[in-house]
Structure 1
Amino acid sequence: MIELGKKQKLLVVKTVDFGIYLGEDRNAPQNERVLLPSKQVPEGTKAGDEIEVFIYKDSQDRLIATTREPMLQVGQTAVLKVKQVTRIGAFLDWGLEKDLLLPYHEQTNRVREGEECLVALYVDKSSRLCATMKVYHYLSTRTPYVPGDSVKGRVYEISGNFGVFVAVDDKYSALIPAREATGKYRPGAILDLRVTEVKEDGKMNVSDRQKAYIQINEDAESVFSVIEEFAGVLPFDDHASPEVIKREFGLSKNAFKRAVGHLMKEGKVEIRDKRIYIKK
């Protein structure tokens, strides 16, 4: 069976002026053959030869073969560049003559010409190849990483309930849990991360924060700078609500309390009257 969106080895069944027809065997019927245009045919090719090709559709929606290498196949993910944005969606460069459509309804955020985006390749209901930025189900769970490893990940979706969804190496499934997601994130951003957990299903939990004893100095400096911006008096103490703390500092309440405690231990701040003061 000739499979759309995949590379496969096929036999040369027939030669014509404009190329060669390929099939799974020499007796493949007309409706089970696909054309490889003449400009793609390797020199010296003859009937019965086996050729590896990628199957997609031409501008008239007909199956066609190519010996060019696509950047991804059905079910795979890749980072592709946006070549054009139109009223029906964005068109991406994926290494073939015909650009790949990323429909608007498959975009998790609006893309612009010249940008790069992480996408997966799928076959839509009309049997056309399309890209989607909804890559969660396409990412691999066969991670080579273990807790403690340093990795790079690309943000592809942000959820208030679950956290920040990340594709490690643009390939592996990972999540910054909501409790850890204390910074400001945007889709497409590439983060330096630390693997904190690898679950039984192979999905990873990651963090963009260092271990607490390393992170505390950085957090303390950040908190001190914000208090300075409040003219040396923060109008609340470490009992403030988690929402207020996250809004002002981008920290969890526990991280904020650790930072304030560190500053107090160093003699830089003091708490009185439910406020935090920089010590003169």
Structure 2
Amino acid sequence: MIEIGKYNELRVLSKTEAGLNLTDGDKLVLLPYLHVPKGIEIGDNLSVFVFIQKDGRLTGTTQKAYASVGDFAFLKVVSDGDEGVFMDLGIDKDVFVPEREQKRPMQKGYQYVVHVYLDEGNDRLLASSKLYDFVEEENFEFEVGDEVSLLITEETDLGFNAIIDNKYIGLLYNNEVFDNIQPGDKRKGWIKTIRVDGKIDLTLQPSGYGHILDSKVMIMRELIKSGGVIELGDKSTPDEIYHRFQISKSAFKKTIGSLYKERLITISDTEIMLLTDDEEEDSE
């Protein structure tokens, strides 16, 4: 069965004046000669993105689409009209966003995170910026602490909303974002909390003992490179810590606390210092 708005593995059936006829054994898809790879012969298989032309004809392309049906993507508005706007999909077919599917009015030349879907009535490719209508709100496929892929969607009063694994939505709180992130950015993140109401809190910092081990190695290397002293301590700001180590202040404090317990460093409000062998013996 051919899936419109997605890539399909089809067989080359015949040649026409307009292009190649491809088939799944049931329906025909026209692949214009402009997008036919060199050396393709009748009987070969091809992976093509399938869409419907205005005349209702199934058409394929070997171009790389920015998104398929079911995907969330950061796309650019390339034209507008009275009923909606068209966004660049990376192929010879733009995707239409009806006015009713725009969370806020979209403007030509700007980019927005949208969800790509099919019109149930005519299988036309459409997109929507009303993301909450398309995310799943239960049956999560992850647990607290799991690493996930994030697509930043928008900035809010609390922080940044992000699509999780192309399926769910969660929130990065402002006070835990120490990097410059923008809508459309793709980041690696971690599940911080799954709340009782089903809302998901995210973090850009991994947690757990494994992360502390990595941070300990990094900080010890930096101490050695810096001559045994780093001017960061308990009273250093989160921004100062993130700028130096790309970890949160909480992770930093856990890490240096662990190094202190192992008698590898001393800690003050403004710096950490590597203990020498003599100083380690004196502290025992």
Counterpart residue identity of residue 146, structure 1: G
**Secondary structure at the residue paired with 2:100?**
helix
Match of 2:47 in 1: 52
Q: What aligned pairs does 1:199-278 form with structure 2 within 5 A after superposition?
A: 204-206=200-202
State which of 69, 77, 84 in structure 2 corresponds to 1:74.
Answer: 69
Counterpart residue identity of residue 115, structure 1: Y
Question: How far does residue 98 in structure 1 lie from its aligned partner after superposition?
Answer: 2.0
Counterpart residue identity of residue 152, structure 2: R
How many residues are treated as equivalent by the alignment? 198
Q: What aligned pairs does 1:105-124 form with structure 2 within 5 A after superposition?
A: 105-124=100-119
Counterpart residue identity of residue 205, structure 1: D
**Secondary structure at the residue paired with 1:72?**
coil
Match of 1:21 in 2: 21
Task: Tell me if structure 2 keeps the 8 A contact 1:7–1:52.
Answer: yes
Match of 1:129 in 2: 125
**Secondary structure at the residue paired with 1:105?**
helix
Task: Tell me if structure 2 keeps the 8 A contact 1:81–1:92.
Answer: yes
Q: What aligned pairs does 1:87-106 form with structure 2 within 5 A after superposition?
A: 87-106=82-101
Q: Structure 2: how far apart are the matches of 1:93 and 1:20?
A: 25
Match of 1:154 in 2: 152
Q: Structure 2: how far apart are the matches of 1:38 and 1:190?
A: 35
Q: Structure 2: how far apart are the matches of 1:122 and 1:157?
A: 24
Counterpart residue identity of residue 126, structure 2: C
Q: Structure 1: how far apart are the matches of 2:9 and 2:58?
A: 15
Q: Structure 1: how far apart are the matches of 2:197 and 2:38?
A: 47
Task: Tell me if structure 1 keeps the 8 A contact 2:148–2:165.
Answer: no
Counterpart residue identity of residue 93, structure 2: K
**Secondary structure at the residue paired with 2:12?**
strand
Q: Structure 2: how far apart are the matches of 1:191 and 1:7?
A: 22
Using a 3 Å threshold, how does the CA distance of structure 1 residues 67 and 109 change in structure 2: closer, same or farther? same
**Secondary structure at the residue paired with 1:2?**
coil
Note if 1:9 corresponds to 2:9: yes
Counterpart residue identity of residue 62, structure 1: R
Question: How far does residue 115 in structure 1 lie from its aligned partner after superposition?
Answer: 1.1
Identity of aligned residues (%): 28
Using a 3 Å threshold, how does the CA distance of structure 1 residues 48 and 90 change in structure 2: closer, same or farther? same
Match of 1:85 in 2: 80
Question: How far does residue 93 in structure 1 lie from its aligned partner after superposition?
Answer: 0.6
Q: Structure 2: how far apart are the matches of 1:175 and 1:56?
A: 31
CA deviations over 1:25-69 (Å, ceiling 9, x no partner): 3xx4xxx11111111112222211111101012243421011111
**Secondary structure at the residue paired with 2:91?**
coil
**Secondary structure at the residue paired with 1:68?**
coil
Using a 3 Å threshold, how does the CA distance of structure 1 residues 84 and 169 change in structure 2: closer, same or farther? farther
Structure 1 gap ranges (5+): 209-213, 219-280
Match of 2:262 in 1: none
Question: How far does residue 17 in structure 1 lie from its aligned partner after superposition?
Answer: 2.0
Q: Structure 2: how far apart are the matches of 1:6 and 1:143?
A: 26
State which of 25, 28, 43 in structure 1 corresponds to 2:38.
Answer: 43
Task: Tell me if structure 2 keeps the 8 A contact 1:106–1:131.
Answer: yes
Q: Name the TM-score, length of structure 1 as normaliser.
A: 0.57
**Secondary structure at the residue paired with 1:95?**
coil
Q: Structure 2: how far apart are the matches of 1:50 and 1:152?
A: 34
CA deviations over 1:74-124 (Å, ceiling 9, x no partner): 111111011122111111011011211111111111111111111111111
Using a 3 Å threshold, how does the CA distance of structure 1 residues 100 and 51 change in structure 2: closer, same or farther? same
